[in-house]
Amino acid sequence: PGDENVKKLIAVLAFPFATHASPLLSLVQRLSPAVPEARFIFFNTAKSNNAIFLEDDKRWDSIRPYNVSDGTPENYVSSGSPMEPIENFAKATPENFRTAMETVVEETGMGFSCIITDAFYWFAADMAQELQAPWVAFWTAGPRSVLLHLDTDLIRGILKLSRIDGKMLDFLPGFSGICATDIPPEITCGDLNSPMPRMLHKMGLMLPKATAVAINSFEEIDTAMVNLTNSRFKKFLNIGPLVLTLPDLKISDSEGCLQWLDKQKQESVAYISFGSTVMPPPHELEALAEALETSGFHFIWSIRGNPEEKLPKGFLERTKDKGIVVSWAPQLKILQHEATGAFITHCGWNSVLESIVGGVPMICRAFFGDQRLNMRTIENVWGVGTGIGDGEITKDGAMKALELVLSSEEGQYMRQKLEDIRKLAFDAVQSHGSSTANFETLTAVITK
Ligand code: U2F
């Protein structure tokens, strides 16, 4: 709306790391037409805002990026640890958000009628109470991990921190057969005084206070979780997969991955990506490269940075007829292409959903956070993928997994199961689907 038609201000508080802010922006883009009189202020770091707001996109004029401090101390010299920017940012919250929100209130003379935040932001419970406004928390991962965070204290009490190896979560409804070592380590053994475990612990305590928790998932993907989540939150709204509910965005494919795929046989290509933050250690990259070279399967490998430096010497030249290596791939389109037959993934939730939507079985090498839990769900609950070796990538383990998924009957069986789940995903976002109904409930919460 033009300034004079703005009747409501809605604050959106994004988490600026990994793939958190862009699904939150997708959610807000979907909400905005439903609340035409509202202006959404998207509070996020400058770096993340610059990455996700496309310059020429005027479709969502009612969503305005607003930069907040990223918490980098003055004269800061980076140690190179990838956790450091996250920890600096976590320390700067919630003051950085509060300052920015106060400035907007002063500038516009309007108060916020609703706060939509990344679910990590437990402090929004207090903000919402002060404003007497609803708090909508958005969880960017799966339903199992959010439930476990609620029970951090219980789980820690039962498992006893020092020895979790070999212990099972059978005492938790819905989690029998899941090992304690498979769940996010922040829950079982993280130091609750350090920034991320502390934030997640507090989140577990505060999230039940949210007016609604929205999640980028759909009820039918994990029916065992539906009653459990409904009983723990005021409103738990599966509204995804969001990738199926947005207009087709321009996805750049400067390296021609899709054209190359057009020339490949059906279900013959392995796509490899470890998401936006993970980089496997050099010996695992080498093992995977050797497995691809020896097995001869065709591949697209998305690897951030300079591939010449990351992959074995001569690998790119020797495999140039078999595969493409790019620094960023049109993943969603690749996974929907009929030539793609396997996805070697770190099991980030967005990747898992995209693989399901594309009907591509997964070969899993999980690293941190919810990823191992997602891997177990893929393997044991849905049966649509396999682990790789003993957790680390080895040449032999990768070759066996590729063989299994790309050229065995078991791989075909996984594809059939995926077809069923995939259909459920598409049904959920149809006009009578569960995600559509939940989205309407969510709209009602923010328009009230
Ligand atoms: C964190 O996950 P990541 O950001 O590491 O990974 P994903 O959730 O799988 O999201 C990666 C997204 O980046 C896209 C891809 C996904 O939408 O399509 N992408 C791409 O377009 N091209 C590429 O070459 C590579 C990736 C965290 F690490 C996980 O544990 C969490 O589950 C996740 C959600 O909270 O956030």
The complex scores an ipTM of 0.99
Query: Alpha-carbon distance 227 to 236, whole Å?
Result: 10
Q: How many CB atoms neighbour CB 223 within 10 A?
A: 9
Written as six digits, the tokens of 373 are 């839990």
For the question of residue 149 being annotated catalytic, the response is no
- Among 349, 365, 368, the mutation site with the greatest number of ligand 1 atoms within 8 A of its Cβ is 349
Q: How far apart are CA 213 and CA 114, in angstroms?
A: 13
pLDDT in tens, 147-181: 999 999 999 998 876 677 788 899 999 998 899 99
**If you take atom 27 of ligand 1, which residue's CA is the nearest one?**
348
Which ligand 1 atom is the nearest neighbour of the CA of 142?
A: 32
Q: In what order do the strands lie in the sheet with 112-118?
A: 63-68, 38-45, 8-13, 112-118, 135-139, 212-215, 236-238
Report the nearest atom of ligand 1 relative to the CA of 328.
24
Q: How far is the CA of 351 from the centre of ligand 1 (A)?
A: 6
**If residue 445 lies in a helix (H) or strand (E), which one and from where to where?**
helix 434-447
- For ligand 1, is residue 335 a contact (CB within 6 Å)? no
pLDDT (0 to 100) of residue 217: 98
Round the average pLDDT of the chain to a whole number and report it: 94
CA-proximal residue: ligand 1, atom 10 (nearest): 350
CA gap 237, 434 in Å, rounded: 9
Would you say the CB of residue 358 lies under 6 angstroms from ligand 1?
no
Find all residues with CB under 8 Å of 100, minimum gap 6, and list them: 43, 66, 67, 68
Q: How many secondary structure helices (H) and strands (E) does the chain include?
A: 20, 13
pLDDT score recorded for residue 2 = 60
Distance CA 392, CA 402 (A): 15
300-327 tens-digit pLDDT = 999 999 999 999 999 999 999 999 999 9
The answer to whether the beta carbons of residues 136 and 214 sit under 8 Å apart is: yes
**Helical H segments across 134-253, by residue range:** 143-150, 152-159, 185-188, 195-206, 223-232
The atom number, within ligand 1, closest to the CA of 140 reads 35
Q: How far is the CA of 102 from the centre of ligand 1 (A)?
A: 32
Joined together, the tokens standing for residue 236 give 């738990």
Q: Is 186 in the pocket of ligand 1 (CB under 6 A)?
A: no
Atom number of ligand 1 nearest to Cα 332: 18
CB-facing half-sphere around the CA of 320: CA atoms within 13 A: 5
**Amino acid at the residue 270:** A
Pocket test for ligand 1, best of 243, 252, 276 (most atoms within 8 A of CB): 276
Q: Is 271 in the pocket of ligand 1 (CB under 6 A)?
A: no
Tell me if residue 8 falls in helix, strand or coil: strand
CA torsion, points 18, 20, 26, 31, in degrees to nearest 10?
Answer: -170
Q: Which two tokens stand for residue 146?
A: 């959010």
Instruction: For residue 371, give the ligand 1 atom closest to its CA.
Output: 30
pLDDT digits (tens, 9 = 90+) for 15-72: 999 999 999 999 999 999 989 999 999 999 999 999 999 876 666 789 999 999 999 9
DSSP string, 67-115: EE---PPTT------THHHHHHHHHHTTHHHHHHHHHHHHHHS--EEEE
**Which has the higher per-residue pLDDT, 179 or 249?**
179
Q: Indicate the helix (H) or strand (E) that contains 45.
A: strand 38-45
275 lines ligand 1 (CB under 6 A): yes
Instruction: Count other C-beta atoms under 10 Å from residue 157's C-beta.
Output: 10
Catalytic residue among 20, 149, 337, 346: 20
Q: What angle do CA 115, 276, 428 make, to 5 degrees?
A: 60
Is residue 395 within 8 Å of 291, Cβ to Cβ? yes
Residue 66: per-residue pLDDT? 97
Quick check: 124 and 117 in contact, CB under 8 A?
Answer: yes
pLDDT on residue 83: 85
Helix axes of 349-358 and 409-428: crossing angle, nearest 10 degrees: 100
Instruction: Please tell me if the CB atom of residue 332 comes closer than 6 angstroms to any atom of ligand 1.
Output: yes
What's the 160 CA to ligand 1 centre distance in angstroms? 32
pLDDT number for residue 9:
97
